[in-house]
C-alpha cells in the first residue's frame, strides 16, 4: 500500500515524491509508447510529413538551367548605334516570351515577333542620341526560362531636318483644316518620313497624307472634318533618315479640335455669298469678286490667316503698282498667291452684289480700319476661324491648285491617296 500511495502522489505532481513502486514505472513506459505511436502515425509536419509525399518527387530530376540562348544586337554597351536596321533579339533552342525595350524616360519601343517566336524586331525606328535598355526572356522546350539584359546608345546625327506645322497644339480650327508640315530641307525618303507621322481622329475617320513636292506633306480625311472632331498627331521624326545622311530631330504630339463645320459658298456670277454652319444656312451677303481681267479662282479654299487690319500692295503679288491700299479691314487669306476674302471700304455700298471689281479677292462691304462696326465684313470676320472653307463657283478663272494654300480639297480622294 505504501508504494501505491507514493505513486499517487507522484501523479498528483508532488515534487518531493520518490517513485519506487512498480505501478509508477509501468505508467512511464506507457507514456513513452504512446508518444512513439503518435510520431510514427504522421499527424502534422516535420520529417513525418515529408516522408509520406510518395515517390513522385524522388523520381523527377532536379530542374536544371534553361537551354534557351538569348542574343541581343547591338551588343551591350554599344555607342553610336544606327536608328534603323540594327536592333534585334534572338532566341536559340527556345522561344521568346517577353521583350521590353525602352528609353531612359520609360517610353517603350513597340515590336513584333517573327520566325516562329524566335526573333523580335522593332516596329519602327529608334530616336537619335538616346539610351535604350533591352530586357528579354525566353523558354526552352521544358519551360525553363532564360533572361538577358543589355543597353546601348544611338548616334547623334550631324545633319538634321525639322518640320514646321500648322495647326499648333491646342488650336481650335474649322472643318477644312488639314495638318500641314513644311520641312526645312528636301526629303528624299518620303515614305519613311510619312510613316513616322501618325494622324488619328475621334470620331474615327481615315486620314491620309499627300506630298506636294519634296518639302511639304499634308494630311486630311476624304471629306471635311465633322464638328467636334478631336485630332491627334504623333510626330516621331527623331532618328528618321529624310535624305542621305540627314536625320529628323522632332518627337512631338500635337492635338487640335474642330470647332464646327462652316462652309461659305461664293457665287461669282450672282455676286453673293451664302454662309452655312453645320448644315444650316445662317447668312447671305452681296459680294464683289475678281473683275473680268483678273477673275477669282474657282474651288474650295481654306482660311489660313486672319488680320483685323492689313495693307495690300499689288507689288507683292505680281500686279506692279496697280494698287496699294492701306488699312484693309477684316482680311482672311485663302491662297499663298494672294487671294483673300476681306472687307472693302473703297467701293460704294450699292456696288456690292452688282459689280465684280477686285484683282481676284472676294470683297464684303466694310469700314476702314476694322473693328466691330456692324458691316458684313466685320460680321463675317468675327464669325470665321482659321480652317473654315470658302467655296467659289461660277467664276471665269481656273480651279485653284491644291498646293496654293491649304487647298488640297480640290484634289479627288483617289488622287490624294494614290502612291506618289
Helix (H, G, I), strand (E, B) or coil at 417: helix
Please give the Cα distance from 307 to 389 (Å, whole number): 17
DSSP for 124-152 reads SPPPTT-EEEEEEEEE-TT--EEEEEEEE
Using an 8 Å Cβ cutoff, are 165 and 158 in contact?
A: no
Please give the Cα distance from 87 to 73 (Å, whole number): 5
Task: Tell me whether strands 299-302 and 389-393 are parallel, antiparallel or unpaired.
Answer: antiparallel
Those residues whose C-beta lies under 8 Å from the C-beta of residue 35, and which sit 6 or more positions away, are none
- Position 314 scores a pLDDT of 64
CB burial of 146-159 (b: ≥16 within 10 Å; e: otherwise) equals bebebebbbbebee
pLDDT tens digits in sequence order for the chain, 420 residues long: 444 443 333 333 344 333 334 444 343 333 333 333 434 333 333 333 333 444 455 455 447 899 999 999 999 999 999 999 999 999 999 999 999 999 999 999 999 999 999 999 999 999 999 999 999 999 999 999 999 999 999 999 999 999 999 999 999 999 999 999 999 999 999 999 999 999 999 999 999 999 999 999 999 999 999 999 999 999 999 999 999 999 999 999 999 999 999 999 999 999 999 999 999 999 999 999 999 999 999 999 999 999 999 988 766 666 666 667 899 999 999 999 999 999 999 999 999 999 999 989 999 999 998 999 999 999 999 999 999 999 999 999 999 999 999 999 999 999 999 988
Cis peptide before 336 (omega within 30 of 0): no
Which uninterrupted H or E stretch holds 8?
helix 2-11
Those residues whose C-beta lies under 8 Å from the C-beta of residue 313, and which sit 6 or more positions away, are 323, 324, 325
Can you read off the three cell numbers belonging to residue 33?
A: 509508447
Residue 224: which of 10, 390, 394, 7 has the closest Cα?
Answer: 390
Helix (H, G, I), strand (E, B) or coil at 172: strand
- Identified catalytic residue from 210, 342, 359, 383: 342
- Position 13 scores a pLDDT of 39
Using an 8 Å Cβ cutoff, are 58 and 133 in contact?
A: no
Place of cell 538634321: 160
Residue 145: which of 57, 60, 69, 62 has the closest Cα?
Answer: 69
Domain 262-410: homologous superfamily in CATH = L,D-transpeptidase catalytic domain-like (2.40.440.10)
- Position 225 scores a pLDDT of 98
Residue 15: other Cβ atoms inside 10 A = 6
Can you read off the three cell numbers belonging to residue 310?
A: 492689313
- Position 120 scores a pLDDT of 98
CB burial of 370-394 (b: ≥16 within 10 Å; e: otherwise) equals beeeebbbbbbbeebbbbbbbbbee
Please give the Cα distance from 222 to 234 (Å, whole number): 20
Two domains, one topology: 69-154 and 159-258: yes
CATH entry 2.60.40.3780 includes domain 69-154: yes
- Identified catalytic residue from 210, 330, 359, 361: 361
Using an 8 Å Cβ cutoff, are 404 and 335 in contact?
A: yes
Q: What is the CATH number of domain 159-258?
A: 2.60.40.3710
Q: Give catalytic status of residue 361 as yes or no.
A: yes
Q: Give catalytic status of residue 41 as yes or no.
A: no
- Position 51 scores a pLDDT of 35
Question: Hey, which bits of 104-226 come out as E strands?
Answer: 111-114, 119-122, 131-139, 145-154, 159-161, 163-166, 172-173, 179-183, 197-202, 207-212, 216-221
Residue 261: which of 207, 232, 223, 288 has the closest Cα?
Answer: 223
For residue 213, the 8-state DSSP code is T
Domain locations in the chain as residue ranges: 1-34, 69-154, 159-258, 262-410
Alpha-helix residue ranges (DSSP H) falling in 17-164: 22-40, 46-51, 56-59
- Position 56 scores a pLDDT of 52
Those residues whose C-beta lies under 8 Å from the C-beta of residue 151, and which sit 6 or more positions away, are 76, 77, 131, 132, 133, 134
Residue 225: which of 179, 287, 190 has the closest Cα?
Answer: 179
Please give the Cα distance from 65 to 61 (Å, whole number): 12
Amino acid at each position: 500500500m505504501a508504494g501505491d500511495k507514493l505513486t499517487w502522489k507522484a501523479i498528483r505532481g508532488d515534487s518531493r515524491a520518490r517513485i519506487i513502486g512498480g505501478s509508477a514505472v509501468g505508467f512511464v513506459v506507457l507514456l513513452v509508447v504512446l508518444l512513439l505511436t503518435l510520431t510514427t502515425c504522421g499527424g502534422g509536419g516535420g520529417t513525418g510529413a515529408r516522408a509520406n509525399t510518395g515517390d513522385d518527387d524522388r523520381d523527377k530530376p532536379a530542374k536544371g538551367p534553361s537551354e534557351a540562348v538569348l542574343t541581343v544586337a547591338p551588343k551591350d554597351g554599344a555607342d553610336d548605334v544606327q536608328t534603323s536596321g540594327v536592333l534585334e533579339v534572338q532566341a536559340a533552342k527556345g522561344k521568346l516570351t517577353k521583350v521590353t525595350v525602352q528609353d531612359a524616360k520609360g517610353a517603350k519601343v513597340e515590336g513584333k515577333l517573327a520566325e516562329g517566336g524566335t526573333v523580335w524586331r522593332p516596329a519602327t525606328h529608334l530616336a537619335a542620341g538616346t539610351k535604350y535598355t533591352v530586357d528579354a526572356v525566353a523558354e526552352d522546350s521544358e519551360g525553363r526560362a532564360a533572361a538577358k539584359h543589355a543597353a546601348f546608345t544611338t548616334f547623334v546625327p550631324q545633319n538634321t531636318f525639322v518640320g514646321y506645322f500648322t495647326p499648333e497644339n491646342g488650336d481650335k480650327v474649322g472643318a477644312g483644316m488639314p495638318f500641314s508640315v513644311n520641312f526645312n530641307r528636301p526629303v528624299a525618303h518620303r515614305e519613311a518620313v510619312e510613316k513616322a507621322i501618325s494622324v488619328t481622329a475621334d470620331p474615327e475617320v481615315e486620314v491620309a497624307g499627300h506630298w506636294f513636292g519634296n518639302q511639304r506633306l499634308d494630311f486630311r480625311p476624304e471629306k471635311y472634318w465633322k464638328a467636334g472632331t478631336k485630332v491627334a498627331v504623333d510626330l516621331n521624326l527623331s532618328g528618321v533618315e529624310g535624305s542621305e545622311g540627314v536625320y529628323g530631330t522632332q518627337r512631338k504630339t500635337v492635338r487640335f479640335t474642330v470647332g464646327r463645320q462652316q462652309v461659305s459658298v461664293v457665287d461669282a456670277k450672282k455676286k453673293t455669298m451664302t454662309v452655312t454652319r453645320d448644315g444650316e444656312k445662317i447668312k447671305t451677303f452681296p459680294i464683289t469678286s475678281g473683275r473680268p481681267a483678273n477673275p477669282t479662282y474657282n474651288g474650295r479654299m481654306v482660311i489660313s490667316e486672319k488680320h483685323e487690319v492689313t495693307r495690300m500692295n499689288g507689288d507683292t503679288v505680281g500686279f506692279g503698282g496697280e494698287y496699294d491700299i492701306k488699312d484693309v479691314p477684316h482680311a482672311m487669306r485663302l491662297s499663298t498667291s494672294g487671294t483673300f476674302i476681306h472687307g472693302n471700304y473703297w467701293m460704294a455700298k450699292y456696288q456690292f452684289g452688282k459689280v465684280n471689281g477686285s484683282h481676284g479677292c472676294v470683297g464684303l462691304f466694310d469700314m476702314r480700319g476694322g473693328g466691330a462696326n456692324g458691316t458684313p465684313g466685320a460680321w463675317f470676320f468675327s464669325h470665321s476661324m482659321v480652317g473654315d472653307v470658302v467655296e467659289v463657283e461660277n467664276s471665269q478663272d481656273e480651279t485653284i491648285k491644291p498646293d496654293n494654300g491649304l487647298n488640297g480639297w480640290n484634289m479627288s480622294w483617289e488622287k490624294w491617296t494614290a502612291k506618289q
